[in-house]
């Protein structure tokens, strides 16, 4: 019986390797479930700016990748954060998000666009988060072991940039005082507060205008803070800074 051989690229007449057992040529595409998207669950504390360790079902290989610290059989999956959320402390363990395989051209055209990373989320070469301008290089994003990252979270929840708080304790001296505070309110529609740990964050007063009293006298006071990037911007020094503080009699 004559069986015509499958040609996956008829326009170029270039057949893929022939399989003598089946009489067919190997498929050019990867097997798996299309489209390449998955649900990922945050599996480790968020301590890295550009990505977070997750667990989830990799649709390319049809396998669930679990995570357990120190267990080589459960390595987890390094998943890039959206560019606008590339800061440590944004995500909490057990949160679930959609993840996709992003794609950007990796060929030589156009040569004047410094953004060719193939199937990789990329990372701004200089600026934390989004690139500062159209000329900043978007380089390949790798995890701590040097492995290229593929997946990227799709997250529509905004990052909280303003909070109200009450002061638990204060350390240091003016103008370097730092207060450990309990979050009392956060932005509407956002459950994410950078650097939050068990409902608390550290708030700074570099101007010395608000925490200019005895440390013990500040405990219990209400105030507000915003998450700011001090000058010069673009480093890893974003922090909560006090913007107002109630008077002692309030």
Q: What is the pTM of this model?
A: 0.57
Q: Mark which of 133, 156, 179 sits at the end of a domain.
A: 156
Distance, in Å, from the CA atom of 104 to the CA atom of 107, rounded to the nearest integer, reads: 9
Residues 83 and 185 in one domain: no
Distance, C-alpha 8 to centroid of its chain: 38
Whether the per-residue pLDDT at 177 is higher than 90: the answer is yes
Find the mean pLDDT for residues 176-202. 84
Q: How many domains does the chain have?
A: 2
Whether the per-residue pLDDT at 248 is higher than 90: the answer is no
Predicted confidence at residue 210, as pLDDT, reads 94
Helix (H) or strand (E) holding 216: helix 215-218
Distance, in Å, from the CA atom of 13 to the CA atom of 199, rounded to the nearest integer, reads: 62
Whether the per-residue pLDDT at 234 is higher than 90: the answer is no
Neighbours of 223 (CB within 10 A): 22
Helix (H) or strand (E) holding 123: strand 123-124
Residues 170 and 152 in one domain: no
Residues 214 and 145 in one domain: no
Q: Is residue 10 part of a domain?
A: no
Whether the per-residue pLDDT at 165 is higher than 90: the answer is yes
Nearest to 136 by CA among 144, 148, 128: 128
The boundaries of the domain holding residue 212 are 162-245
């Amino acid at each position: 019986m004559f069986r015509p051989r499958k040609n996956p690229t008829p326009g170029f007449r270039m057949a893929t390797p022939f399989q003598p057992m089946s009489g067919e040529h190997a498929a050019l595409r990867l097997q798996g479930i299309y489209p390449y998207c998955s649900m990922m669950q945050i599996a480790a504390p968020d301590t890295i700016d550009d990505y977070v360790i997750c667990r989830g079902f990799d649709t390319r290989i049809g396998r669930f990748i679990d995570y357990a610290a120190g267990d080589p059989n459960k390595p987890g999956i390094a998943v890039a954060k959206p560019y606008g959320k590339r800061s440590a402390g944004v995500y909490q363990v057990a949160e679930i998000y959609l993840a996709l395989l992003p794609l950007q051209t990796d060929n030589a055209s156009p040569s004047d666009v410094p953004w060719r990373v193939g199937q990789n989320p990329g990372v701004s070469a200089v600026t934390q988060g989004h690139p500062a301008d159209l000329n900043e290089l978007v380089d390949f994003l790798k995890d701590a072991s040097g492995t290229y990252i593929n997946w990227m979270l799709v997250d529509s929840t905004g990052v909280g940039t303003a909070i109200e708080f009450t002061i638990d304790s204060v350390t240091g001296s003016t103008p370097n005082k730092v207060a450990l505070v309990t979050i009392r309110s956060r932005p509407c529609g956002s459950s994410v507060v950078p650097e939050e740990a068990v409902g608390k964050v550290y708030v700074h007063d570099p101007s010395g205008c608000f925490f200019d009293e005895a440390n013990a006298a500040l405990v219990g006071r209400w105030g507000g803070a915003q998450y700011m990037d001090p000058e010069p911007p673009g480093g890893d020094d974003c922090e909560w800074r006090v913007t107002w503080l109630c008077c002692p009699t309030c």
